[in-house]
């Protein structure tokens, strides 16, 4: 088989398919998608609930339906893809090492690479939930796969730790299959999930959301028999006297998603310690020439619609890179999170002759009501730009559309911070 | 060892417990023409107790008091490890161990350990000053003053060794019964009757290697005489990273506050920190606690300040079998034809091959016929895991068996070929945990989140199991609770 490509896209989930099809639309033809699973579409295949595509297609689709739109486009364009093929390493010279049962061990080279490997779930162990280690403890995503893809029920009597979106969705899913969901516990004073999911998945089914609560111990030798829970104080420490036990046979965790950047590391890509993803500019270029990153491997998104948009930009940029049509960079402006903001992606903006309008993605570090997000340089008194928001919460990503002239007008770093009104 | 075992046949030896001591003894006995059966209450080799969860250190032998059985068996066991690991294809990292002193005052303790080690006949002991120490372990706290270096110390994966011992024993004819808890041990004419699960075994000799439960078994046999208390040790397991990596086990000089926390590097490349040492009552409660894990972390950071909890992979508790009445190992004939190997706490892993030798000597003394087994094969056919192979080997493996081209566990690069192999080897995997400890599938940072469903599917296919009957670690630990579609409609 051929070993040289213009563009190799690693991952055939929503990010990879959007990047590949956008590169195609930009005129690139020599593209290969490498997917480790037996199907294209990635994690969306197990997300059988609705709520996808409101932005991208102005329709409410299920995960598989949303994925299918991009799979269809990939097939129409005739973009080649490998299934059941796992990339083991990406080298800085854009050689990838992959294995597959059919093709054996492959070494392929590309002029450009898009990293779109997605993310994984943080585990119980990563957040040090004490107790025993019985069967019946699993992440929300694993439970979702067992139920929606494999067709099995992982437990009858459930407690959910963490109010991330997958956990909220699974609270409803377990309930619909006849299991009892005792409570969803959230250690923070606010949910990290989308408001619409709290309403549609918990409130509508009478499932209590216990904020400022955590699991202090898991019980059971072979299978979970219960969990101890407690209220926590401002420092997230259990408050003595508030501990109580809930009998259950299953503990589902939904305690955060982590970009899967093992391959980015082998490629030598510089990572942002806060996002866990690559450091990129507005074209989704990483620190390694010709290597682009997009989707949940870059930053964990709330909405797949944003993944698609970001990945299309990455695909277009990768195509322009291969075609040597990217505009020349005059200088780079760093975009730095300031008070109230945890991170901003892209981490830098390349100013060109005609800097385009730029979308800045960011997460607030706390809940703010009646606030504005402001862009300023150290030297200026007046903000460069100001965006009013009635409510900011860490569970919902903030997207700001900023005119290119804002960046073209400055020389120094731009700080992005929250100002409470 | 090819003859059939009939229902009423008199066995030569029944070993109770398939931990490291039981399996080492089984393998040692398989050198002779004997009928040997091992009974284990857990579902897999090395999953029932102390073997599963310990620091995995090959101790040099400077710690036990001179003249004790522990001192002798530790030093002897250590010397046996090169041959043993070579024969069994088990990975050992013998780069020495260090006991770190954090003040000139603590240095006095190193001198004491050095003298004790020399009295025990431990070779290669030396005290290192601060500079030499920091060269060996650059991530060590600058507060470290000096250390005792023991060249013969090392690190090993305890379950890997135990699995290899069991496999070799099975290869040489030993029978293993899993999920066969021993309910009674009664003297009969010329031997013992052991009731294990639904089986009634008659045997001339019994070896009690039941770890935490050795006192219960001894009492069943009427030998009695000692009590075992679990001493719980909590551990943290982390992914390694350059700024807190260590090259060898790092002990601390004990203080009035405790024995100190060890930081070590496992042969599989994780950083392990622990254990606490808390005496407990319940032998089956292996819970970690917030307080215990915090103590491990604080203690470990005394040696390696940069340990980063964001890199945590797992936390777990191991239980050491401590005989309340004595500090030494108990290796003895408890009753005629009934032998105890009890109170095998640290350095039990190191001593295990020597304990096995000792038990065989005792058995011989009691009349066991030790005619050599001419068919004995000391080595296991070593089949390397895919990730351990060179690119050229990997290419060949996939051509010969395409299942080696399918990654099941992404975190640890475990292929379907590796998993199928681990199921079909002698004493092969039957459970999700069994596969995890053999291949590392599910042992990485995502803790089986991705590979769990795939592993379950392969177990079902290879063993003809119903998905609802697949367990994490034996009956009662089923992974799934019900079907959402009628049976037979689940094929993707």
Q: pLDDT tens-digit profile of B11-26? A: 999 999 999 999 999 9
Q: What is the pLDDT of residues A222-241, one digit of tens each?
A: 999 999 999 999 999 999 99
Give yes or no: residues A162 and A217 share one domain: yes
Q: Quick one: pLDDT at residue A254?
A: 97
Q: How high does pLDDT run on average in chain A? A: 96
Q: CA A252, CA A124: separation in Å to the nearest integer?
A: 9
Interface probe, candidates A103, A107, A142, A229, chain B, greatest B C-beta count within 10 A:
A142
| Contact flag B446-A121 (C-beta cutoff 8 Å) | yes
Instruction: Tell me what the mean pLDDT of segment B239-247 comes to.
Output: 94
- Name the phi and psi angles at A129, rounded to 5: -80, 115
- Domain B386-469 CATH (choose: 1.10.760, 3.30.9, 3.40.50, 1.10.10): 1.10.10
Give yes or no: residues A299 and A356 share one domain: no
| Contact flag A135-B473 (C-beta cutoff 8 Å) | yes
Going by C-alpha positions, the residue among B2, B10, B12 that lies closest to residue B369 is B12
Going by C-alpha positions, the residue among B38, B179, B154, B34 that lies closest to residue B96 is B154
| Contact flag B405-A147 (C-beta cutoff 8 Å) | no
Q: CA B335, CA B221: separation in Å to the nearest integer?
A: 8
Cβ-Cβ contacts under 8 Å, B446 against chain A: 120-121, 123
Residue A218 has pLDDT above 90, yes or no: yes
Q: How high does pLDDT run on average in chain B? A: 95
Q: How confident is the model at residue A261 (pLDDT cuts 50, 70, 90)?
A: very high
- Name the phi and psi angles at B213, rounded to 5: -105, 10
Instruction: Tell me what the mean pLDDT of segment B221-242 comes to.
Output: 94
Domain termination site, one of A230, A255, A280 = A255
Nearest chain B alpha carbon to A143: B449
Q: What is the pLDDT of residues A380-403, one digit of tens each?
A: 678 999 999 999 999 899 999 999
Cβ-Cβ contacts under 8 Å, B445 against chain A: 120, 123, 126
Cβ-Cβ contacts under 8 Å, A141 against chain B: 449
Q: Quick one: pLDDT at residue B4?
A: 41
Q: Quick one: pLDDT at residue A381?
A: 75
Burial class (CB in 10 A: 0-12, 13-18, 19+), B290: middle
Considering only CB atoms, B471 lies closest to which of A86, A135, A151, namely A135
Give yes or no: residues A244 and A346 share one domain: no
Considering only CB atoms, B481 lies closest to which of A36, A151, A249, namely A249
Q: CA B54, CA B346: separation in Å to the nearest integer?
A: 9
> How distant is the Cα of B452 from the closest Cα of chain A, in angstroms?
8
| Contact flag A86-B410 (C-beta cutoff 8 Å) | yes
Q: What is the pLDDT of residues B440-467, one digit of tens each?
A: 999 998 999 999 999 999 999 999 999 9
Q: What is the pLDDT of residues B43-95, one digit of tens each?
A: 999 998 899 999 999 999 999 999 999 999 999 999 999 999 999 999 999 99
Going by C-alpha positions, the residue among A171, A396, A400 that lies closest to residue A301 is A396
Cis peptide before A232 (omega within 30 of 0): no
* Residue position matching structure tokens 């682009």: A292
Give yes or no: residues A127 and A249 share one domain: yes
Q: Which residues contact B486 (CB under 8 A, 6 or more apart)?
A: none
Interface probe, candidates B181, B237, B284, B407, chain A, greatest A C-beta count within 10 A:
B407
Q: How confident is the model at residue A1 (pLDDT cuts 50, 70, 90)?
A: confident
**In chain B, where are the structural domains located?**
10-51+159-227+326-365, 94-155+230-321, 386-469
| Contact flag B447-A124 (C-beta cutoff 8 Å) | yes
Q: CA A268, CA A274: separation in Å to the nearest integer?
A: 18
Q: List the Cα angle B116/B119/B123 in 5-degree steps.
A: 95
Chain A to chain B, count of Cβ pairs less than 8 Å apart?
153
Give yes or no: residues A237 and A130 share one domain: yes
CATH 3.40.50.10330 fits B94-155+230-321, yes or no: no
Cβ-Cβ contacts under 8 Å, B415 against chain A: 99
- Name the phi and psi angles at A332, rounded to 5: -110, 135
- CA distances (Å), B490 to each of A40, A44, A152, B73, in order? 20, 19, 9, 54
Q: CA A277, CA A298: separation in Å to the nearest integer?
A: 4
Q: Quick one: pLDDT at residue B461?
A: 98
* Residue position matching structure tokens 């009974």: B39
Domain termination site, one of A268, A298, A326 = A326
Considering only CB atoms, B453 lies closest to which of A130, A133, A145, namely A145
| Contact flag A104-B398 (C-beta cutoff 8 Å) | yes
- CA distances (Å), A92 to each of A110, B182, B411, in order? 11, 58, 21
Contact indicator for A85, A35 with CB cutoff of 8 Å:
yes
Nearest chain A alpha carbon to B315: A125
Interface probe, candidates B433, B481, B485, B487, chain A, greatest A C-beta count within 10 A:
B481
Q: Quick one: pLDDT at residue A52?
A: 96
Q: How confident is the model at residue B325 (pLDDT cuts 50, 70, 90)?
A: confident
| Contact flag A133-B316 (C-beta cutoff 8 Å) | yes
Chain CA centroid to CA B319, Å: 12
| Contact flag B410-A36 (C-beta cutoff 8 Å) | yes
Q: How confident is the model at residue B489 (pLDDT cuts 50, 70, 90)?
A: low
Give yes or no: residues A280 and A364 share one domain: no
Going by C-alpha positions, the residue among B117, B408, B438, B485 that lies closest to residue B268 is B438
Contact indicator for A306, A399 with CB cutoff of 8 Å:
yes
Residue B259 has pLDDT above 90, yes or no: no
Which CATH number do you get for residue A19?
A: 3.50.50.60
Interface probe, candidates A125, A156, A158, A265, chain B, greatest B C-beta count within 10 A:
A125
Q: How confident is the model at residue B101 (pLDDT cuts 50, 70, 90)?
A: very high
Q: Which CATH superfamily is domain B10-51+159-227+326-365 in?
A: FAD/NAD(P)-binding domain (3.50.50.60)
Please, what's the b/e burial string for A245-270 (b: 16 or more CB within 10 A of its CB; e: otherwise)? Answer: ebebbbbbbbbbbbbbbbbbebbebe
Q: CA B193, CA A47: separation in Å to the nearest integer?
A: 57
Q: CA A289, CA A276: separation in Å to the nearest integer?
A: 20
- Of the listed ranges A48-57, A131-140, B319-328, the one predicted with least confidence: B319-328
| Contact flag A133-B467 (C-beta cutoff 8 Å) | no
Cis peptide before B164 (omega within 30 of 0): no
Q: Quick one: pLDDT at residue B2?
A: 36
DSSP string, B137-203: -TTS-TT--EEEEETT-EEE-HHHHHHHHHHHHHHTT-EEESS--EEEEEEETTEEEEEETTEEEEE
Considering only CB atoms, B477 lies closest to which of A97, A138, A222, namely A222
Q: Which residues contact A240 (CB under 8 A, 6 or more apart)?
A: none
| Contact flag A222-B313 (C-beta cutoff 8 Å) | no
Q: How confident is the model at residue B7 (pLDDT cuts 50, 70, 90)?
A: low
Give yes or no: residues A310 and A360 share one domain: no
Question: Is B59 noted as a catalytic residue in this protein?
Answer: yes
Burial class (CB in 10 A: 0-12, 13-18, 19+), A57: middle
Going by C-alpha positions, the residue among A226, A188, A227 that lies closest to residue A209 is A188
Long-range pairs of B396-401 with CB within 8 A, sequence gap ≥ 24: B398/A99, B398/A101, B398/A104, B398/A105, B399/A104
Considering only CB atoms, B484 lies closest to which of A131, A153, A218, namely A153
Cβ-Cβ contacts under 8 Å, B394 against chain A: 99, 105
Q: Is the dihedral of CA A129, A133, A137, A141 positive or negative?
A: positive
HSE-CB of B335 using CA atoms within 13 angstroms: 21
Element (H, E) at B323: strand B312-323
Q: Quick one: pLDDT at residue B48?
A: 85
The structural domain count of chain A equals 3
Cβ-Cβ contacts under 8 Å, A35 against chain B: none
Contact indicator for B56, B45 with CB cutoff of 8 Å:
no
Please, what's the b/e burial string for A87-99 (b: 16 or more CB within 10 A of its CB; e: otherwise)? Answer: bbebeeebbbbbb
DSSP string, B12-30: EEEEE--SHHHHHHHHHHT
- CA distances (Å), A80 to each of A17, A69, A124, in order? 11, 17, 38
Q: Quick one: pLDDT at residue B382?
A: 81
| Contact flag A135-B395 (C-beta cutoff 8 Å) | no
| Contact flag B310-A154 (C-beta cutoff 8 Å) | no
- State the angle between helix axes of B348-365 and B20-29 in degrees (0 to 180), rounded to the nearest 10: 40
- HEC string of A349-388 equals EEECCCCCCEEEEEEECCCEEEEEEEEECCCCCCCCEEEE
> How distant is the Cα of A116 from the closest Cα of chain B, in angstroms?
15
- Name the phi and psi angles at A23, rounded to 5: -65, -40
ipTM over 0.90: yes
Give yes or no: residues A141 and A223 share one domain: yes
Considering only CB atoms, A150 lies closest to which of B399, B406, B490, namely B490
Cβ-Cβ contacts under 8 Å, A151 against chain B: 483-485, 489-490
Residue A416, SS3 per DSSP: strand
| Contact flag B452-A177 (C-beta cutoff 8 Å) | no
- CA distances (Å), B77 to each of B22, B71, B85, B318, in order? 15, 10, 12, 22
Instruction: Tell me what the mean pLDDT of segment A10-17 comes to.
Output: 98
| Contact flag A152-B483 (C-beta cutoff 8 Å) | yes
* DSSP-based helix, strand, coil % in chain A, nearest 5: 25, 35, 40
| Contact flag A124-B474 (C-beta cutoff 8 Å) | no
Nearest chain B alpha carbon to A100: B405
Q: CA B178, CA B158: separation in Å to the nearest integer?
A: 19
Cβ-Cβ contacts under 8 Å, B416 against chain A: 101
Q: Quick one: pLDDT at residue A367?
A: 94
Nearest chain B alpha carbon to A257: B446
Q: How confident is the model at residue B490 (pLDDT cuts 50, 70, 90)?
A: low
Instruction: Tell me what the mean pLDDT of segment B459-480 comes to.
Output: 97
| Residue A141 belongs to domain spanning | 123-255
Greatest extent of chain A over all pairs of C-alpha atoms, in Å: 66
> How distant is the Cα of A400 from the closest Cα of chain B, in angstroms?
30
Cβ-Cβ contacts under 8 Å, A216 against chain B: 290
Q: How confident is the model at residue A379 (pLDDT cuts 50, 70, 90)?
A: low
Instruction: Tell me what the mean pLDDT of segment A123-136 comes to.
Output: 96
Considering only CB atoms, A150 lies closest to which of B284, B413, B453, namely B453
Cβ-Cβ contacts under 8 Å, B398 against chain A: 99, 101, 104-105
Cβ-Cβ contacts under 8 Å, A123 against chain B: 445-447, 449
Contact indicator for B274, B266 with CB cutoff of 8 Å:
no
Q: Give me the percent of chain B exceeding a pLDDT of 90.
A: 92
Which CATH number do you get for residue A360?
A: 2.60.40
């Amino acid at each position: 088989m051929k070993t040289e490509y213009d563009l190799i896209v690693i991952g055939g989930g929503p990010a990879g398919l959007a990047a590949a099809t956008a590169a195609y639309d930009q005129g690139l033809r020599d593209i290969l998608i490498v997917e480790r699973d037996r199907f294209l579409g990635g994690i969306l295949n197990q997300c059988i609930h609705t709520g996808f595509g409101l932005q991208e297609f102005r329709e409410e689709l299920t995960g598989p339906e949303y994925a299918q739109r991009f799979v269809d486009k990939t097939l129409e364009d005739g973009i080649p893809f490998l299934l059941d093929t796992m990339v083991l390493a990406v080298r800085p010279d854009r050689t990838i090492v992959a294995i597959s049962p059919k093709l054996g061990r492959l070494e392929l080279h590309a002029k450009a690479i898009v990293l779109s490997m997605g993310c994984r779930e943080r585990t119980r162990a990563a957040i040090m939930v004490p107790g025993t280690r019985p069967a019946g403890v699993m992440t929300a995503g694993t439970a979702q796969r067992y139920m929606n893809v494999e067709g099995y029920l992982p437990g009858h009597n459930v407690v959910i730790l963490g109010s991330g979106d997958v956990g909220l969705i699974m609270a409803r899913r377990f309930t619909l299959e006849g299991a009892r969901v005792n409570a969803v516990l959230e250690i923070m004073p606010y949910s990290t999930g989308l408001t619409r999911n709290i309403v549609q998945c918990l409130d509508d089914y009478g499932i209590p959301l216990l904020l400022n609560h955590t699991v202090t111990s898991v019980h059971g030798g072979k299978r979970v028999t219960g969990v101890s829970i407690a209220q926590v104080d401002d420092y997230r420490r259990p408050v003595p006297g508030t501990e109580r036990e809930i009998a259950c046979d299953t503990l589902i965790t939904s305690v955060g998603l982590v970009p899967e950047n093992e391959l980015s590391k082998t490629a030598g890509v510089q990572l942002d310690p806060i996002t866990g993803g690559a450091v990129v500019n507005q074209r989704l270029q990483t620190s390694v020439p010709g290597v682009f990153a997009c989707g949940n491997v870059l930053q964990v998104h709330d909405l797949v619609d944003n993944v698609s948009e970001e990945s299309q930009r990455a695909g277009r940029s990768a195509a322009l890179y291969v075609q040597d049509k990217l505009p020349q960079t005059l200088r780079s402006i760093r975009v730095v999170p300031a008070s109230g903001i945890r991170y901003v992606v892209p981490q830098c903006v390349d100013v060109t002759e005609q800097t385009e309008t730029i979308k800045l993605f960011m997460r607030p570090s706390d809940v703010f009501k009646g606030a504005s997000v402001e862009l300023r340089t150290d030297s200026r008194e007046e903000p460069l730009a100001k965006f009013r928001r009635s409510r900011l919460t860490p569970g919902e990503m903030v997207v700001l559309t900023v005119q290119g002239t804002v960046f073209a007008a400055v020389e120094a770093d731009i700080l992005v911070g929250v100002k409470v009104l | 060892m090819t003859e059939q075992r009939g229902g009423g046949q008199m066995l030569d030896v029944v070993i109770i417990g398939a931990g490291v001591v039981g399996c080492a003894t089984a393998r040692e006995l398989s050198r002779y023409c004997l009928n040997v059966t091992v009974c284990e209450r857990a579902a897999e080799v090395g999953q029932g107790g102390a073997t599963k969860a310990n620091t995995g250190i090959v101790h040099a032998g400077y710690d036990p008091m001179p003249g004790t059985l522990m001192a002798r068996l530790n030093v002897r066991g250590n010397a046996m490890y090169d041959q043993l690991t070579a024969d069994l294809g088990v990975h050992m990292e013998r780069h020495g161990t260090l006991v770190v002193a954090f003040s000139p005052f603590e240095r006095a303790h190193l001198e004491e350990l050095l003298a004790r080690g020399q009295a025990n006949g431990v070779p290669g002991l030396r005290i290192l000053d601060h500079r030499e120490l920091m060269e060996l372990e650059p991530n060590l706290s600058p507060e470290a003053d000096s250390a005792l270096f023991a060249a013969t110390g090392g690190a090993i994966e305890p379950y890997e060794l135990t699995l290899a011992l069991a496999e070799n024993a099975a290869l040489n004819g030993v029978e293993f019964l899993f999920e066969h808890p021993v309910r009674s041990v009664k003297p009969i004419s010329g031997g013992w009757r052991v009731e294990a699960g639904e089986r009634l075994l008659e045997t001339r000799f019994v070896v009690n290697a039941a770890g935490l439960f050795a006192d219960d078994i001894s009492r069943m046999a009427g030998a009695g005489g000692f009590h075992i208390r679990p001493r719980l040790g909590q551990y943290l397991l982390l992914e390694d990273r350059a700024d807190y990596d260590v090259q060898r086990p790092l002990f601390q000089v004990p203080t009035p506050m405790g024995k100190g926390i060890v930081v070590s590097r496992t042969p599989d490349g994780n950083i392990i920190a622990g254990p606490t040492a808390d005496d407990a009552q319940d032998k089956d409660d292996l819970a970690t606690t917030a307080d215990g894990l915090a103590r491990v972390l604080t203690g470990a950071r005394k040696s390696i300040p940069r340990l980063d909890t964001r890199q945590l992979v797992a936390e777990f508790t191991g239980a050491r079998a401590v005989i309340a009445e004595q500090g030494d190992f108990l290796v003895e004939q408890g009753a005629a034809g009934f032998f105890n190997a009890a109170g095998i706490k640290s350095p039990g892993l190191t001593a295990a091959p020597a304990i096995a030798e000792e038990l065989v000597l005792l058995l011989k003394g009691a009349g066991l016929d030790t005619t050599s087994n001419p068919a004995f094969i000391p080595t296991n056919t070593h089949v390397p895991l895919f990730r351990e192979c060179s690119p050229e080997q990997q290419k060949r493996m996939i051509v010969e068996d395409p299942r080696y081209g399918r990654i099941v566990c992404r975190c640890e690069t475990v292929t379907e070929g590796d998993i199928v192999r681990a199921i079909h080897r002698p004493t092969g995997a039957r459970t999700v945990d069994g596969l995890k400890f053999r291949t590392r599938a599910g042992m990485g940072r995502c803790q089986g989140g991705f590979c769990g469903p795939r592993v379950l599917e392969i177990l079902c296919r290879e063993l003809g199991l119903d998905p609802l009957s697949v367990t994490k670690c034996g009956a009662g630990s089923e992974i799934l609770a019900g079907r959402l579609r009628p049976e037979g409609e689940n094929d993707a």
